[in-house]
């Protein structure tokens, strides 16, 4: 009986062919998903821009009735809005992908960036246009770092996550009430997209609580620091300042 010594090669070719077929199908599906995300972005922008949310007090209330995460709806609509403001066509910005555009359009289009050394002002629009022109060749992390710089979130002002592991009852009876109390004391920090007063973030409220604790002389534990035990507390650099990754599903 003659053995076919080419069997491994034949099997290898079959696997390679199937692998290429599966990859092609996957890439087609990803392209459709990305395209549908921009379709959703444009429709949300149209609804918000033209006030097509009759029966609801605000656009945000309207979004909550849709089968999409409110946070995702927010950044998708923001992408379309900023690109509309910039006068950039979809065929120009879409190749950058949602993740990069999400970072880019988190910038304030109407603001200026002040060079800390020369004090020279440059419109943020100029940087956004630069990202659109060159973003396809820039890694996401590079764009994120540039955006952080333009927002002034570098050095001591860099943002980070503080993860706390606590008892549920402590969260409900102590942490949340304290955060709400701090927010009330801080007051409004601006207006949201609907023109409504916007509360301080949880991070800003927690910072106020911590600062108040440290400023109170009664909290000076002389020689008692070693007796204080805390649950796990770790600082991590956030992957995304919104606390939401770029791969969540509609």
User: How far apart (Å, rounded) are the C-alpha atoms in residues 62 and 54?
Assistant: 9
In contact, 188 and 199? CB cutoff 8 Å: yes
What are 142-171's pLDDT values in tens digits?
999 999 999 998 888 887 888 889 999 999
What are 18-77's pLDDT values in tens digits?
888 888 888 888 777 777 999 999 999 999 999 999 999 999 999 999 989 999 999 999
* DSSP labels, 138-176: S-HHHHHHHHHHHHT-SGGG---EEEE---HHHIIIIIH
Q: Show the tokens assigned to 93.
A: 């910005």
In contact, 80 and 73? CB cutoff 8 Å: no
Other Cβ atoms within 10 Å of 108 Cβ, number: 14
Q: What is the mean pLDDT of the chain?
A: 83
Q: Show the tokens assigned to 199.
A: 């509360």
- Residue 99: predicted pLDDT: 95
Q: What angle do CA 11, 13, 15 make, to 5 degrees?
A: 70
Beta-bridge mates of residue 113:
122
In contact, 121 and 113? CB cutoff 8 Å: yes
Element (H, E) at 41: helix 7-50
- Residue 175: predicted pLDDT: 94
- Residue 250: predicted pLDDT: 45
Q: Rounded mean pLDDT of 81-86? A: 97
Q: Rounded mean pLDDT of 70-96? A: 95
What are 172-189's pLDDT values in tens digits?
999 999 999 999 999 988
The torsion angles phi and psi of 147, rounded to 5 degrees, stand at -65, -40
The confidence band for 17, taking pLDDT boundaries of 50, 70 and 90, is: confident
The torsion angles phi and psi of 191, rounded to 5 degrees, stand at -120, 145
Residue 227 has pLDDT above 70, yes or no: no
What are 233-245's pLDDT values in tens digits?
333 334 444 444 4
Other Cβ atoms within 10 Å of 103 Cβ, number: 24
Q: Write down the residue that tokens 């020689």 correspond to.
A: 223
């Amino acid at each position: 009986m003659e053995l076919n010594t080419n069997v491994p090669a034949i099997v290898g070719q079959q696997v390679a062919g199937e692998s290429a077929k599966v990859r092609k199908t996957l890439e087609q599906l990803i392209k459709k998903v990305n395209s549908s995300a921009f379709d959703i972005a444009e429709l949300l922008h149209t609804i918000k821009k033209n006030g097509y949310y009759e029966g609801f007090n605000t656009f945000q209330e309207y979004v909550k009735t849709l089968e999409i995460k409110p946070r995702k709806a927010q950044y998708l609509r923001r992408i379309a809005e900023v690109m509309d403001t910039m006068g950039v066509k979809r065929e120009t910005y879409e190749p950058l992908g949602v993740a990069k555009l999400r970072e880019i359009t988190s910038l304030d289009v109407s603001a200026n960036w002040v060079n800390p050394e020369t004090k020279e002002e440059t419109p943020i629009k100029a940087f956004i246009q630069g990202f659109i022109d060159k973003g396809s060749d820039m890694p996401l992390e590079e764009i994120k770092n540039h955006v952080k710089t333009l927002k002034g979130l570098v050095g001591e002002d860099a943002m980070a996550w503080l993860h706390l592991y606590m008892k549920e009852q402590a969260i409900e009876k102590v942490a949340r009430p304290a955060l709400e109390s701090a927010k009330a004391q801080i007051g409004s920090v601006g207006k949201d997209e609907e023109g409504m007063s916007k509360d301080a973030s949880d991070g800003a409220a927690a910072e106020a609580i911590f600062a108040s604790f440290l400023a109170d002389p009664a909290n000076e534990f002389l020689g008692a620091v070693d007796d204080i035990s805390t649950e796990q507390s770790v600082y991590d650099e956030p992957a995304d300042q919104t606390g939401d990754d770029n791969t969540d599903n509609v």
